[in-house]
Chains A and B, each alone.
Chain A
Amino acid sequence: MSPNRAAWLFVTPALAVIGVFFLLPVLAAFALSLTDFDLYALADRDNLRFVGLGNYLDLLRTPMFWQSLGNTFYFVLVGVPLSIAVSLAAALLLDSKLARFKGFFRTALFAPVVTTIVAVAVIWRYFFHTRYGLVNYTLDLVGIPPIDWLGSADWSMPTIILFAVWKNFGYNMIILLAGLQAIPHDLYEAARIDGASFWKQLRHITLPMLKPTMLLVAIITTSGYFQLFAEPYVMTRGGPLQSTTSVLYFMFEEGFKWWNLGRASAVAFLLFALILGVTALMLRLGRRGEQP
């Protein structure tokens, strides 16, 4: 048996699993997105129509789709940089030589990642309650009038972003912390001897050395944030005025609330294309900097 054939033999089980549980469903979903599969079709297959790219064209004319796309971009463009900045700040604090009780803080800061989102959402809804919430109470103490956090279309998305950042920053913090710990200490020692301040060390040593880690974190976070769903589902149910309806939330409503599976599949493929495009762009931009 040639090594080549042996190699194929070894990967066959894995390929079969991927084929059956990943490739096949994806192809089926694509086929579904070319039909108008819905409740009626579920009851009687004669009610199924082939519509070609009709679902896609129809979506591009649906105002709600564009609004959900806009909401998603808002969430990603504000949420991702904020999330990474908070993660980096927390990682720097934990990595600092001055920090005490590192184990405790690492666990405490990571805790939101492993909490149940539904339980946490209940507490956050109380935090941001217009009349009794702790946030408005605190603002009131410094003389700022109450803000309708979850009830006004202008504030609902910022609240969701804060919630998502708080919930997720611990995960990136751990990855960045590992990256920080891999930076050789003699670099910092040399910089200190040359009299570099903290900010100069951060800019000229930490950030450049962290770049591969940062790229990874940015891509994971971006593709994750594009799939915003659970936060609005438990906090606002997509409202008020659909201001927190993300693309995935829109897909969920089309697919599992109304059973327009054809349209929902089309949304899924558009979102897939979008995430693929954005992450490919990020990879390319990230790589370009590598050749000086």
Chain B
Amino acid sequence: MTRSTPMAARRAWRAAAACVCTLGLALLAACAPSRDTRTTITFWAMGREGEVVAELLPEFERRHPDIRVRLQQLPWTAVHEKLLTAFAGDALPDVGQLGNSWVAEFAALDALEPLDARVAASSVVARDDYFPGIWDTNVIDGATLGVPWYVDTRLVFYRKDLLAEAGFDSPPRDWDEWRRAMAAVKQLGGAKNYAILLPLDEFGPLLSLAIQKDAPLLKDDDTRGNFSSADFRDSFDFYTGMFASEWAPRMSDTQISNVWNEFSRGFFAFYINGPWNIGEFQRRLPADFQDKWTTMPLPGPDGAGASVAGGTSLVVFRQSDKQDAAWKLIEYFAEPAVQLRFHELTGDLPPRRSVWSDPQLADDRHAAAFREQLERVKPTPKVAEWERIVIEMQRAAERVARGGADPAKTLAALDREVDAILEKRRWILEHRKEAAP
């Protein structure tokens, strides 16, 4: 260094100064566009909703020029991990879409902002207009933690033409009728086709059948499994029986490349699924197929049955420092006109009664069964561990349906597993009891 001549040193200085100048200019240039004074809120949405909700955002930003919404789309298969990881890493968004069976879990984490005061003050979110069973899933220990965005319950999509061919002019109303219909459809389809599709890695169908019975799925203040009850056993036998009778193929979701194609080919005639599939069936299947399928309420053990009160809610995350802006977005999505537009885009069903009276929904023949079903929805147990429990339940069903395990032993083992999963919950409840005077 000391050996450099003054001339070289000066040249080096000049080069360095030029560098600093260029860097400074670059920084200035980089800063210029971000002189944006708008509040930016991050919004996480999932799956199909995440794809189409982008179309609704420009209108919101037009009405609220001071707010910019940054939308992030997540695939459903990875959402749960992603949300928990974000919570642990303090990286949750300001506002997000949350499956309503997860509300209890995030309530246990204290990650959600109670919305009671905002709901009470709001002129848009009218609590009485919502289906009570759906609203209730967002209320944990008396606090409202989310606003329903769309509802989801499980009912049956079916092939009218195949059912008529098998000699059934009206859809089955109870399990016995349903059994006869499935046997007839299977007979008609032969060895390569089936009556019903129940992907073995999806817990929705079995859960829907189980919730129709009176016995609760968890007992003792939701601290122990109740899967050995006679009621659950009935639903379980009905479900696994469909595989034993070869009415349902022993397949997982990953093995079926295209559900919609298979449905149109007659691979199966019944499919227990949610309302978003109305739109998918309409969009993905040819026009001349559209009058061959429709929906029906889920048949119950004796007559019309209940189903799961599912759906997703919009929540404000507690650590957000832009909760007012986040709430404005929730209010916007709760507006009946926006809900109607959202329904057009996704086929998702609105949770507000007033939206249902619009002719667009009132005249929709596929949605009518959902409307009827929504009157009979029941929430699943509100415990943080529910997601894991319901997956263990499905694994037990898979062991019997696919592996031929003994049902009584499998269900007893399931209860033991569930009790182990809920051990921490029992400990915390006892802890709380001791702490309270």
Chain B contacts of A259 at CB under 8 A? 84, 88
When A257-B80, A258-B388, A259-B88 are in contact, do A42 and B257 touch as well, CB less than 8 Å?
no
**Contact call B254/A256, Cβ cutoff below 8 A:** no
Chain B contacts of A206 at CB under 8 A? none
**Contact call A43/B424, Cβ cutoff below 8 A:** no
Pick from A47, A126, A236: contact of B257, CB below 8 A.
Answer: A126
When A240-B402, A259-B88 are in contact, do A132 and B257 touch as well, CB less than 8 Å?
yes
When A153-B402, A240-B252, A241-B399 are in contact, do A42 and B88 touch as well, CB less than 8 Å?
yes
Main secondary structure of the interface of A (DSSP, over half): loop
CA distance A129 to B254 in the complex (A): 10
Pick from B109, B250, B254, B427: contact of A39, CB below 8 A.
Answer: B109
**Contact call A241/B398, Cβ cutoff below 8 A:** yes
A38 CB within 8 Å of chain B: yes
When A39-B84, A257-B80, A257-B81 are in contact, do A239 and B108 touch as well, CB less than 8 Å?
no
When A39-B84, A151-B250, A239-B201 are in contact, do A130 and B108 touch as well, CB less than 8 Å?
no
**Contact call B424/A36, Cβ cutoff below 8 A:** yes
B251 CB within 8 Å of chain A: yes
**Contact call A151/B105, Cβ cutoff below 8 A:** no
The residue of chain A having its C-beta at the shortest distance from the C-beta of B87 within the complex is A42
B200 CB within 8 Å of chain A: yes
CA distance A183 to B85 in the complex (A): 51
Chain B contacts of A240 at CB under 8 A? 200, 252, 398, 402
Question: B240-275: which have CB < 8 Å to A?
Answer: 250-252, 254-255, 257
Chain A positions 210 through 237: 1 when the CB is less than 8 Å from some CB of chain B, otherwise 0: 0000000000000000000000000111
Chain B contacts of A150 at CB under 8 A? 252, 254-255
Nearest CB of B to A158, in Å: 16
B403 CB within 8 Å of chain A: yes
CA distance A32 to B368 in the complex (A): 52
B384 CB within 8 Å of chain A: yes
**Contact call B255/A151, Cβ cutoff below 8 A:** yes
**Contact call B255/A40, Cβ cutoff below 8 A:** no
Chain A contacts of B105 at CB under 8 A? 39
Question: A88-129: which have CB < 8 Å to B?
Answer: 125-126, 129
**Contact call B87/A40, Cβ cutoff below 8 A:** no
The residue of chain A having its C-beta at the shortest distance from the C-beta of B88 within the complex is A42
Nearest CB of B to A207, in Å: 41
Nearest CB of B to A146, in Å: 11
**Contact call A129/B257, Cβ cutoff below 8 A:** yes
When A256-B81, A257-B80, A259-B88 are in contact, do A237 and B428 touch as well, CB less than 8 Å?
no
Pick from B84, B87, B395: contact of A242, CB below 8 A.
Answer: B395
Chain A contacts of B375 at CB under 8 A? none
Nearest CB of B to A58, in Å: 9
Pick from A43, A130, A256: contact of B85, CB below 8 A.
Answer: A256
Nearest CB of B to A242, in Å: 7
Most chain-B CB neighbours within 10 Å: which of A125, A132, A259? A259
B110 CB within 8 Å of chain A: yes
Nearest CB of A to B329, in Å: 26
The residue of chain A having its C-beta at the shortest distance from the C-beta of B77 within the complex is A237
CA distance A269 to B160 in the complex (A): 56
Nearest CB of B to A62, in Å: 9
**Contact call A42/B109, Cβ cutoff below 8 A:** yes
CA distance A241 to B88 in the complex (A): 31
The residue of chain A having its C-beta at the shortest distance from the C-beta of B257 within the complex is A129
CA distance A257 to B80 in the complex (A): 7
CA distance A129 to B87 in the complex (A): 38
The residue of chain B having its C-beta at the shortest distance from the C-beta of A241 within the complex is B403
Nearest CB of A to B407, in Å: 15
The residue of chain A having its C-beta at the shortest distance from the C-beta of B427 within the complex is A49
Chain B positions 70 through 95: 1 when the CB is less than 8 Å from some CB of chain A, otherwise 0: 00000000001100110110000000
Chain A contacts of B403 at CB under 8 A? 153, 241
Pick from A38, A235, A256: contact of B424, CB below 8 A.
Answer: A38
The residue of chain A having its C-beta at the shortest distance from the C-beta of B253 within the complex is A237
Most chain-A CB neighbours within 10 Å: which of B399, B424, B427? B424
**Contact call B254/A235, Cβ cutoff below 8 A:** yes
CA distance A39 to B105 in the complex (A): 9
Nearest CB of A to B152, in Å: 22
CA distance A47 to B105 in the complex (A): 15
CA distance A49 to B424 in the complex (A): 10
Nearest CB of A to B249, in Å: 9
Question: B81-136: which have CB < 8 Å to A?
Answer: 81, 84-85, 87-88, 105, 108-111
**Contact call B257/A239, Cβ cutoff below 8 A:** no
When A241-B398, A241-B399, A242-B395 are in contact, do A43 and B108 touch as well, CB less than 8 Å?
yes
**Contact call A241/B80, Cβ cutoff below 8 A:** no
Chain B contacts of A125 at CB under 8 A? 254, 257
Chain B contacts of A148 at CB under 8 A? 255
Nearest CB of B to A243, in Å: 10
CA distance A8 to B385 in the complex (A): 51
Nearest CB of A to B63, in Å: 36
Pick from B84, B109, B254, B388: contact of A237, CB below 8 A.
Answer: B254
Question: B379-399: which have CB < 8 Å to A?
Answer: 384, 388, 395, 398-399
Question: A174-225: which have CB < 8 Å to B?
Answer: none
Nearest CB of B to A27, in Å: 20
**Contact call B252/A151, Cβ cutoff below 8 A:** yes
Question: A38-59: which have CB < 8 Å to B?
Answer: 38-40, 42-44, 47, 49
> Lowest 10 CB-CB distances: which A-B pairs, in order?
A43-B109, A151-B255, A256-B81, A43-B110, A241-B403, A258-B388, A259-B84, A257-B81, A239-B252, A150-B255
Extra contacts besides A151-B252, A256-B84 (16): CB < 8 Å: A39-B384, A40-B108, A40-B384, A40-B428, A43-B109, A44-B110, A126-B257, A132-B257, A235-B254, A236-B254, A239-B201, A239-B398, A240-B200, A241-B403, A257-B80, A257-B81
List 29 A-B residue pairs with CB atoms under 8 Å apart, sorted by A's residue number: A36-B424, A39-B84, A39-B108, A39-B384, A40-B108, A40-B384, A40-B424, A42-B109, A43-B109, A43-B110, A125-B254, A129-B257, A130-B255, A148-B255, A150-B252, A150-B254, A151-B250, A151-B251, A151-B252, A235-B254, A236-B252, A237-B201, A239-B252, A240-B200, A240-B252, A240-B402, A241-B399, A242-B395, A258-B388
